[in-house]
Amino acid sequence: MREKSGWTAHVGFTHPSSLSAEKGTERPSPGALWTRVTVRGRTCHSSRGPISGAVSVWQWPGSGYVSIVSDPNHLLILTHREAAALLRAIEAGEPTTSASLDLGLSTVDLEVSPSGAVIGGSAIGILALKKIAKDDRKCFEIVDGEPVPISVFSETTNWVRTLCPTSGAPTTLVAGFPMHRVKGTDPIADTKQKIRALGRARGRVLDTATGLGYTAIELAKAAIQVVTVELDPAAIDIARRNPWSRGLFERPNIRIVTGDVFEAVDEFADSHFDAVLHDPPTLALAGELYSGEFYRKLHRVLRHGGKLFHYIGDPDSAVGASTTRGVMRRLGDAGFREIKRQPRAFGVSAIA
């Protein structure tokens, strides 16, 4: 028996004790990824096909339902780069080759043969590897030897969101727009520039737009608490599948709030935060997050003397330059002072 509600699918079993998977304690969050699990020799199926691999399990109190969420630490991911390297190893007739299955965080030795490679106990054929090698805009999860793009259509925002490889950590494409700078840099270097422009934030920090969680993770290294807000549950779904986003779910001082930050910020008391990192999507996707009304809200929740960094975009582009001028004017009108351009971080900083 199976049902789908919002972003989370639930698989019902006759009795939870039939599970051979270890029981977890964490309630699966919206957008959790489904894969295959063996329940006392029986294979269960999800909305995305058979489910397998390491999982966390949540029993819904008082119901016959058990939710199984694959363990994101055990996803097997290939990009065009690894697929091309595997194809070269096959071509060269090598019996094994090393490759990364977690987007460059670690490497493993894989068996290769003239017909393909063995990944997670399943063979992935040459045609599938060629398909991955041709697509440099997607990361592929390997499920039972088949490549499945890490990409979702969000019913909340109507945006397609795709995990996209770069030379370093992946970015996401949202409605075709990359959510981090990738030209001449990479998403982690981009994130560090934003944090540097904000300055060391040790107390309570608001991160207005979670995305892949890179800014939240970096802020959490020095802050007491980071509240990070994300409008789109699909963003959290993609982050859960991204090995580079693990800290978002593992660091105890990060609180993820799902909702529109324009409204979510109203729940915080005056002067609640010591710093705000505002990293919205482009103006074309999220105009209200560049409005005077929103800046007044940010000013209210920032303590006197607290710092804001606002990412805007390339200050040397015509759009970036005019957006920066408008942002600086509206920040001043909202009560911010010492409003400074931060060209290296593609944004501006200001003091409340």
Report the interface residues with ligand SAM, using CB under 6 A.
Answer: 174, 179, 191, 209, 211-215, 229-232, 235, 260-262, 279-281, 286, 289
Shortest separation between residue 229's beta carbon and ligand SAM, angstroms: 5
Shortest separation between residue 236's beta carbon and ligand SAM, angstroms: 9
Shortest separation between residue 77's beta carbon and ligand SAM, angstroms: 17
Give the bridge partners for 147, in sequence order. 142
Cα four-point dihedral sign 119, 122, 123, 127: negative
CA atoms within 13 Å, Cβ hemisphere of 252: 0
> Which burial class, exposed, middle or buried, applies to 213 when counting CB atoms under 10 A from its CB (0-12, 13-18, 19+)?
buried
186 C-beta neighbours (distance < 10 Å), count: 17
The pairing of beta strand 225-230 with beta strand 254-258: parallel
Give the bridge partners for 269, in sequence order. none
Pick 249 or 262: Cβ nearer ligand SAM? 262
Shortest separation between residue 298's beta carbon and ligand SAM, angstroms: 12
Which amino acid would we find at residue 225? Q
Residue with tokens 């959290």, as numbered in its chain: 236
Pick 103 or 231: Cβ nearer ligand SAM? 231
The CB-nearest residue to ligand SAM is: 211
Shortest separation between residue 263's beta carbon and ligand SAM, angstroms: 8
The token pair that represents 54 in the structure block:
């390491």
Distance, CA of 297 to CA of 270 (rounded, Å): 9
Pick 138 or 194: Cβ nearer ligand SAM? 194
Pick 130 or 255: Cβ nearer ligand SAM? 255
Pick 286 or 350: Cβ nearer ligand SAM? 286
Q: Return the closest-CA partner of residue 218 out of 199, 233, 243, 241.
A: 199
Residue with tokens 């660091």, as numbered in its chain: 251
Pick 76 or 188: Cβ nearer ligand SAM? 188
Shortest separation between residue 282's beta carbon and ligand SAM, angstroms: 8
